[in-house]
């Protein structure tokens, strides 16, 4: 008798781009899941699955919770699908198996299919909760953390962005203007280190300051690479958020998809009115989703 396995999506709170250069990233699983079961044949085989188990029949999966009207929400659906499918295929998701087999295999396959990437979304799908992740060569060092007390909202946009395309443009910047790229990564990396320290010390004001610095770094990186990491809409929303001591910033590669609101209080009337007029909408979702599990 086959079982159904579930793996969560994620949001990247801190460390986008700089995590690829050794800075720490904060990633949180959300309570929306991809599911998989061997009871049915797969209707579609992903590139990640082909990289993980070449020539092996894939389980059926459903990622509707991580999509809207057929469009990805930017919550790491490809990683959640892969992790759920691997758990269903092996019919196992105990911690020892996840540590020794599932996570390393999923991490390698996802990087191969995506032509790089940090793998922090794979970590969130495997382990859930909120994690601090740092690359060490090909490995990903993980540290469970608890975010300081802040209001966190996930705002989904009708616009979609290609993470692989954005990463490719940043790599071109690194190739053609290495000094500019390095300076931007140093600044983003320092802000990511500050965000980790604020999280460990449970200092919400310091975390907001570090995220505000990353927002400015993302905007500068996007301008240098010629890509809208921070869209005009998110820029305008962040200006209103700053007036109440909060921050709005892209989650992950940016360019649309998902933006995060973090603040000491919920968004005020002016910000909510601007949000209502924008292409973003509040997504009913909570952080600290459960890692891969059998249902």
Ordered domains of the chain (ranges, CATH): 4-145 (3.30.230.10), 151-282 (3.30.70.890)
Question: What single DSSP character describes residue 35?
Answer: E
Counting every residue written for the chain, the total comes to 295
SS3 content of the chain, % helix, strand, coil (to 5): 45, 25, 30
Q: Is the pLDDT of residue 114 over 90?
A: no
* Mean pLDDT computed over 256-282: 93
- Which of helix, strand or coil describes residue 136? strand
Q: How far is CA 33 from CA 8, 10, 79, 108, 295, in A?
A: 4, 9, 11, 21, 11
pLDDT of 1 reads 66
pLDDT of 253 reads 82
As given in the structure block, the two tokens for residue 249 are 């910033």
Query: How far is residue 149 CA from its own chain's centroid?
Result: 20
- Which of helix, strand or coil describes residue 254? coil
State the chain's mean pLDDT as an integer: 94
Tens-digit pLDDT profile for residues 188-239 = 999 999 999 999 999 999 999 999 999 999 999 999 999 999 999 999 999 9
* Mean pLDDT computed over 16-39: 96
Q: How far is CA 186 from CA 157, 223, 245, 251, 270, in A?
A: 29, 16, 25, 19, 34
pLDDT of 269 reads 96
Distance CA 24, CA 136 (A): 10
pLDDT of 212 reads 98
Distance CA 290, CA 126 (A): 9
CB 214 within 8 A of CB 191: yes
Q: Is the pLDDT of residue 264 over 90?
A: yes
Distance CA 133, CA 120 (A): 7
- Does this model's pTM top 0.85? My answer is yes
Q: Is the pLDDT of residue 82 over 80?
A: yes
Distance CA 69, CA 238 (A): 27
Cite the beta strand spans of the chain per DSSP E. 4-14, 25-41, 59-62, 67-68, 71-72, 130-136, 139-144, 151-157, 247-250, 258-263, 280-282, 293-294
149 burial (CB, 10 Å; 0-12 / 13-18 / 19+) is exposed
Q: Is the pLDDT of residue 69 over 70?
A: no
pLDDT of 179 reads 96
Q: Is the pLDDT of residue 35 over 90?
A: yes
Q: Is the pLDDT of residue 71 over 80?
A: no
% of the chain residues with pLDDT over 70 = 98
Query: What are the φ and ψ backbone dihedral angles of 215, each rounded to 5 degrees?
Result: -55, -45
Tens-digit pLDDT profile for residues 150-200 = 999 999 987 777 777 888 899 999 999 999 999 999 999 999 999 999 999
């Amino acid at each position: 008798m086959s079982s159904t396995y579930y793996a969560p999506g994620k949001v990247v709170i801190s460390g986008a781009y700089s995590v690829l250069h050794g800075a720490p990233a904060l990633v949180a699983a959300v309570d929306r899941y991809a599911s998989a079961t061997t009871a049915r044949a797969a209707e579609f085989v992903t590139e990640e699955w082909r990289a993980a188990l070449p020539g092996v029949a894939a389980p059926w999966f459903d990622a509707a919770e991580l999509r809207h009207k057929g469009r990805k929400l930017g919550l790491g659906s490809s990683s959640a699908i892969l992790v759920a499918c691997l758990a269903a295929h092996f019919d196992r998701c105990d911690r020892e198996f996840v540590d020794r087999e599932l996570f390393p295999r999923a991490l390698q396959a996802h990087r191969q299919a995506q032509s790089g990437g940090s793998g922090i979304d794979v970590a969130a799908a495997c382990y859930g909760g909120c994690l601090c992740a740092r690359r060490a060569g090909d490995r990903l060092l993980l540290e469970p953390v608890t975010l300081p007390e802040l209001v966190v909202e996930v705002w989904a946009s009708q616009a979609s962005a290609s993470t692989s395309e954005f990463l490719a443009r940043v790599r071109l910047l690194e190739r053609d203007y290495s000094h500019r790229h390095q300076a931007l990564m140093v600044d983003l990396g320092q802000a990511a280190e500050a965000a980790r320290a604020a999280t460990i010390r449970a200092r919400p004001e310091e975390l907001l300051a570090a995220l505000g610095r990353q927002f400015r770094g993302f905007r500068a990186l996007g301008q240098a690479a010629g890509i809208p990491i921070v869209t005009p809409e998110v820029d305008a929303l962040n200006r209103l958020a700053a007036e109440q001591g909060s921050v709005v910033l892209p989650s992950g590669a940016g360019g649309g998809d998902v933006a995060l609101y973090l603040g000491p209080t919920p968004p005020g009337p002016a910000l909510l009115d601007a949000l209502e007029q924008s292409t973003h909408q509040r997504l009913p979702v909570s952080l600290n989703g459960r890692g891969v599990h059998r249902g």
